[in-house]
């Protein structure tokens, strides 16, 4: 059985993973690893959302990129993970406002659009797992899961914090975060960190699902 070793580890609670309903926003360097992890761990109802196509520069860190150059990410990933449900759309503030996410048990946010990120945090923080900056870093041991307002050394997280404060959001909302200072100014990335962000998201999601009574 494909998931036999997961069943050994999770015991009778494995059925919770099989019955969980998860939506994943963004399937790039972080999101694609979260998808792979969820899929291999027994989560059967996964919806993936993205509008982007694979480019050559994606090949250093994104699942599916080697065979998918020029293809729409979500549709190509469905050929690799056939049970997923696909939504091809741009994830912006307007889409988040109009799309009903109430049927999902968990929302995984791996997007980098700040207005959209802020909107989804405000609206769905109780069942949301969100990430901050994973690029420009090389040390996965610096990854933490902490309150967004306690993040530091991350310009991307700072922009999210500032915008949440402006909009008077003050909940104890945790994010996947790296305390490592960015190592370059350009768009540098290393799969050892971006992939670890996605795997961290998956681990947190699995624990939340298993803890659900």
pLDDT digits 0-9 by tens, 98-145: 999 999 999 999 999 999 999 999 999 999 999 999 999 999 999 999
pTM as predicted: 0.96
Residue 213 pLDDT greater than 70, yes or no = no
Place 212 in a pLDDT band, splitting at 50, 70 and 90: confident
Q: Which residue is listed with tokens 């690799």? A: 80
- Confidence category of residue 1, pLDDT binned at 50, 70, 90: confident
pLDDT in tens, 41-80: 999 999 999 999 999 999 999 999 999 999 999 999 999 9
Strands 143-147 and 174-178: antiparallel
Domain annotation for the chain: domains and CATH numbers? 4-133+190-211 (3.40.50.720)
Q: What is the C-alpha separation between 137 and 121, in angstroms, rounded?
A: 24
Phi-psi sector, 64: left (phi>0), alpha (psi -120 to 50), beta:
left
Compute the average pLDDT of residues 13-30. Answer: 97
Tokens of 103: 């049927």
> Residue 75, Cα to own-chain centre: how many angstroms?
18
What are 122's two structure tokens?
Answer: 């405000």
The Cα–Cα gap between 186 and 136 comes to 8
Strand partners, 175: 130, 146
């Amino acid at each position: 059985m494909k998931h036999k070793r997961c069943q050994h580890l999770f015991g009778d609670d494995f059925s919770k993973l099989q019955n969980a309903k998860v939506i994943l926003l963004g399937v790039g360097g972080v999101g694609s690893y979260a998808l792979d992890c969820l899929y291999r761990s027994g989560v059967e109802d996964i919806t993936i959302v993205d509008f982007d196509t694979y480019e050559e520069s994606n090949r250093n860190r994104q699942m599916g990129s080697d065979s998918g150059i020029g293809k729409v990410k979500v549709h190509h990933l469905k050929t690799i993970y056939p049970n997923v449900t696909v939504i091809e759309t741009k994830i912006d503030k307007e889409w988040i406002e109009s799309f009903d996410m109430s049927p999902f048990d968990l929302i995984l946010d791996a997007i980098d659009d700040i207005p959209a990120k802020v909107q989804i945090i405000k609206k769905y923080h109780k069942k949301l797992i969100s990430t901050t900056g994973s690029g420009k870093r090389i040390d996965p041991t610096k990854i933490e899961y902490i309150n967004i307002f306690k993040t530091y050394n991350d310009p991307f997280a700072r922009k999210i914090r500032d915008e949440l404060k402006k909009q008077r959001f003050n909940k104890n909302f945790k994010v996947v975060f790296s305390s490592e200072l960015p190592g370059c100014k350009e768009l540098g990335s290393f799969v050892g960190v971006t992939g670890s962000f996605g795997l961290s998201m998956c681990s947190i999601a699995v624990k939340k699902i298993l803890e659900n009574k």
